[in-house]
Amino acid sequence: MKDRIANQFDRARDEGRACFVAYVCAGDPDFATSLEVCRTLIDGGVDVLELGVPFSDPLADGLTNQLAAQRALESGMTADRVFELVREIRKFSEVPIVFYTYYNLVFNKGVDAYVQTALEAGVDGLLTLDLPPEEAAELLESSRARGMKNIFIVAPTTPESRIPLIAESASGFVYYVSREGVTGERESLAGDIGDAVERIKKQVSIPVVVGFGISTRGQVAQVAAVSDGVVVGSALVNCIRHNLDNTARIVPALKEKLSDLVAGVGAAPAGN
């Protein structure tokens, strides 16, 4: 079975750059527009597409992504329609797709059934926000049997002694959360990202990406210089949020913002 995630990180490394990982909520603000948003991101050079699965209690998300999930749910987005969205994307792209989800959604469908359905739809990895590796045995067993990747988070507060457990459980890549709290745009980055990534990379053999609060080209460049990948979410989701009064403006706004951000992954750190 081909490993789209590994292949993409290998390709980026060969090109001397970090991967650009883009987050949007599936179904925001509706199914058809969401599909065009995903197409725009892929056409714009995104290396990995991180799809938020809309959930009524997104505890790790800041206001921007909470509102995105609310819009998606109100438009009729369901777990099954998220799989349908992936199937539509797979008709025109082989970009790696990771679900940003919560364990309740996995558990309710049945772990084996969820993993199998996701895999058949074309999902490459699951980032299950509220499921620590200590509690993930069932999901890990099911995923490993089928070739699904499981991404786990390392936070600034994660004890050094716990990283080997995360390294043992994680596949695809490790996600370093650059600051405490929830998702959202920030005016500045935490100052110790490089040191944190270096510590993690000493204990893991897969790529390390950095997310939370990255919202400008300069910030992308700073993070890209010290990591294998950069995750941007709220800055892209806001292109949807700020154009809800005229959805025809969403794609042009997204193209403009994305072009600026993606330029940072291969650039030297610069001003914002």
Which residue numbers are catalytic? 50, 61
Q: Are 267 and 218 in contact (CB under 8 A)?
A: no
Q: Distance (Å, rounded) from C-alpha 116 to C-alpha 126? A: 12
- Taking alpha carbons only, the member of 68, 119, 115, 69 closest to residue 240 is 68
Q: What is the H or E stretch that residue 66 is in?
A: helix 63-74
Does residue 200 contact residue 154 with C-beta atoms inside 8 Å?
Answer: yes
> Concatenated DSSP letters for 218-245?
HHHHHHHTTSSEEEE-HHHHHHHHTTTT
Q: How many residues does the chain have?
A: 272
